[in-house]
Amino acid sequence: MRLVDPHKAVLTSELSAGGPLVEPPAAMVARIVGGEVGAASINHGKHSVRLYSIGYHPPHMVLIVVRDQDFNESTEKIIARSTVLLSLLIRAEEMDSDQYRLQQTMSSMRAAVLHLALNGLTQLAQEIGQSLYPGLFSADQVRVHLITCGEGELNATASKLENALRQQALVVRSPFRSDQLFVVTPEWPSSCSSASAPASASSSSSSSSSSSGEDRGTSVAQQLHDLVADVPGLRMGASHPKPLASLEEAHREAHRALTMAGNSQEKLVMAAREEPGLSFFLDPGAGQAWAEAFLRPLDALAPAVRESILRTIDLSLRFSRLDVAKATGSHRNTVAARIAKVSELLALDLTCLPDRAVLSLALELRALPPHTPHTAHTANAVSDERNLGDLLADDGAQEWARIYLGRLDADRRELRRTLAAWVACGGNVEQTAQKVGVHLKTVRNHLRAAESLLNCRLLGTPGHTHDLVLAMHALGVARVLPDHLVRSPSRRLRAA
């Protein structure tokens, strides 16, 4: 007995002792494979040979049975049952394969929708996503949830969330981190306030039995919170409600919340109302004028190219190059080339913390709404090119730096000294330990304590050190910004 596939490859074979190996005519096998006939029989000397089609549609597999005596009724029944069972097994495998292909296609479509939304193509993302997630893309606002778990558990966790939320939320592997899920849930006006925290979301969903959009928005967020709370090893950070066009901003909030969850060992953390950053404390006219002058060499690029490169650079200041490549759909070499181009035009070394921190501030100021001077005094101040040293010496920057670094005072250890050395050593823990003269473990403990107090991730996460660098330089805790970064943009470029 043999089972052969449509290409005549033997899948399984069982021969009795001394049994002949019979090769049926190729034309006969081809007719069964093609579905022209369901069975055939031939005589081969003293042996009877039967051929049976296996499967419910062509091309069929072929079961070849050889006996040294005629096929009786009992044998025929056994073989008939066997062909049915084999056909059912094949159908089950085909269904599994079809289901897998469908899941892969859906996964690719979800990733494409997220990619479009993150890259500012909101309308196109809505048009494609509306057919997949009508409730999500008809909502006034959305909320981003980042869920971290082991890479080996990511697919199972994603499937569990997808099945439970029933197309009410977009569940995608994070394009930035291989151990995170990126979940987008809908938010309607009345659910934005009621779902501001897991506990309040629960009370809101239980206090109303109507099926309005507001209740659905609350229940989706609450379902997600409950699912994450029930699964060991998961941790989640969630953003505040944002328009779909602000998905990148929502992602930043969720990322900060997830960092806080890691620092506090809590499972669920909602983004806190963000404290104003340095850009808020700077004179808007002076700050934007400095940023414009600092980034002016990029004007040599075509507008479309410049925006694409700035998008890549902004992400590269917060994520690894590999993560940026995955998030933007670009090759790693393309990302590296864009970073190199910006480094060349701006005369920066983007492998160094100070250079990255200054560029990050310039991009943040550039993204603010344009400032129009209201008084002659302000207009004159803006017309005079100021350097970064002047900006950081202003009262506003000094106040921000004192508030930011003041959080470290809650710990009696010399965290500022360790952090100053760590920044000066470019974030190298081993060199920091040598510079300060303490054990490597002590440096790590100080950094983890600072992470908790500053609500940021210093170890292993690009981008969270920028405020620390600028605050330390502003207060003179550590003069980590070299002169070429502090001087005015025009003088800096002439010197370069």
Q: What is the pLDDT of residues 179-196, one digit of tens each?
A: 889 999 888 765 444 444
What does DSSP assign to residue 371? Answer: P
pLDDT of residue 14: 59
pLDDT above 80: residue 270: no
Cα–Cα distance, 37 to 361 (Å, whole number) = 75
Sequence-separated (6 or more) residues with CB below 8 Å from residue 453: 407, 408, 410, 411, 415
CB 203 within 8 A of CB 218: no
Whose tokens are 């069972």? That residue is: 85
pLDDT of residue 483: 81
Proportion of the chain above pLDDT 70, given as a percent: 82
Q: DSSP of 55-95, one letter per residue?
A: SSSSSPEEEEEEESS---HHHHHHHHHHHHHHHHHHHHHHH
Q: Where are the domains of the chain?
A: 2-71, 104-270, 278-495
Query: Per mean pLDDT, which range of 2-11, 349-358, 404-413 is the poorest?
Result: 2-11
Q: Give the Cα-Cα-Cα angle 354, 355, 359 (nearest 5 degrees).
A: 115
CB 176 within 8 A of CB 267: no
pLDDT above 60: residue 282: yes
Query: Per mean pLDDT, which range of 12-26, 62-76, 234-248 is the poorest?
Result: 12-26
Q: With respect to CATH, is domain 104-270 assigned 3.30.2320?
A: no
pLDDT above 80: residue 494: no
Per-residue pLDDT tens digits for 338-366: 999 999 999 999 988 899 999 999 998 98
